[in-house]
């Protein structure tokens, strides 16, 4: 029975993470900590035999894909289906300003993300559907192989919701993953996904975690319990 293995990796820390900006399609630079994270991620993946590497086209994801690919030296295939949510008018704005500028939409982002759409942006339902469809397609393209994918926090959260068998309405019960966290999913011969592990950051030494330097994510974890 052919099993297809997908390693889905969140990008390294970038400008929007440490500045606390909404970085959907905002293409900020990788931070100094981000490059430290990438060095440890590259070491982790040097022991994994990969057949393909895919990435969102945004810089922070591509830099992550390059680190994953450091030993494999495969062509990195960019796929728009792996992009972060398009935040429309939220893009590049400090999170502290969003409740003032867009009170209703920001309340949805925080408390009812399944029904969130930023002004001029992409709906959460669109992200859920495209991440499901894109990664399912990649798995079918590489049947029996091992594939690494670099994507983004909100996009991965939606995919995790899908592989847990949850409807989008329960996406707020899915916690955020840290920068360079690795998720391993196996697709069976019928192309049904099965979770091997989620949100693993065992490659990061103490002091290299973005979450250890931030507090915003703890609120989400408490609400999801």
As annotated, the active-site residues are 11, 84
> Helix/strand/coil (H, E, C) string of 66-83?
HHHCCCCCCCEEECHHHC
Give the span between the Cα atoms of 122 and 29, in whole angstroms. Answer: 23
Q: What is the separation of C-alpha 197 from the centre of its chain, rounded to a whole number of angstroms?
A: 14
Q: Which of 123, 108, 124, 198 is nearest to 168 (CA)?
A: 124
Give the span between the Cα atoms of 211 and 116, in whole angstroms. Answer: 24
Phi, psi of 17, deg, nearest 5:
-70, -50
**β-strands 146-151, 52-55 pairing:** parallel
For residue 28, the 8-state DSSP code is P
Give the span between the Cα atoms of 225 and 213, in whole angstroms. Answer: 22
- Asked if residues 50 and 147 have their Cβ atoms less than 8 Å apart, the reply is yes
* 3-state secondary structure at position 6: strand
């Amino acid at each position: 029975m052919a099993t297809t293995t997908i390693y889905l990796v969140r990008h390294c820390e970038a400008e929007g993470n440490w500045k606390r900006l909404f970085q959907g399609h905002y293409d900020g630079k990788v931070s100094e900590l981000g490059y430290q994270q990438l060095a440890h991620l590259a070491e982790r993946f040097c022991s994994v035999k990969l057949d393909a590497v895919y990435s969102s086209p945004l810089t922070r994801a591509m830099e992550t894909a390059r680190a994953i690919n450091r030993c494999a030296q495969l062509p990195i295939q960019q796929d728009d289906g792996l992009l972060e949510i398009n935040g429309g008018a939220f893009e590049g704005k400090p999170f502290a300003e969003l409740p003032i500028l867009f009170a209703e939409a920001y309340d949805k982002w925080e408390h009812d993300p399944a029904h969130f759409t930023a002004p001029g942006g992409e709906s959460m339902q669109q992200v859920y559907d495209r991440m499901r469809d894109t990664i399912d397609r990649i798995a079918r393209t590489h049947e029996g192989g091992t594939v690494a994918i670099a994507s983004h926090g909100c996009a991965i959260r939606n995919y995790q919701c899908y592989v847990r068998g949850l409807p989008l309405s329960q996406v707020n019960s899915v916690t955020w993953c840290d920068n360079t966290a690795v998720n391993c999913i196996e697709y069976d011969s019928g192309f049904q996904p099965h979770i091997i592990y989620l949100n693993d950051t065992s490659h990061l030494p103490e002091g290299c975690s973005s979450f250890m330097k931030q507090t915003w994510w703890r609120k989400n974890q408490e609400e999801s319990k």
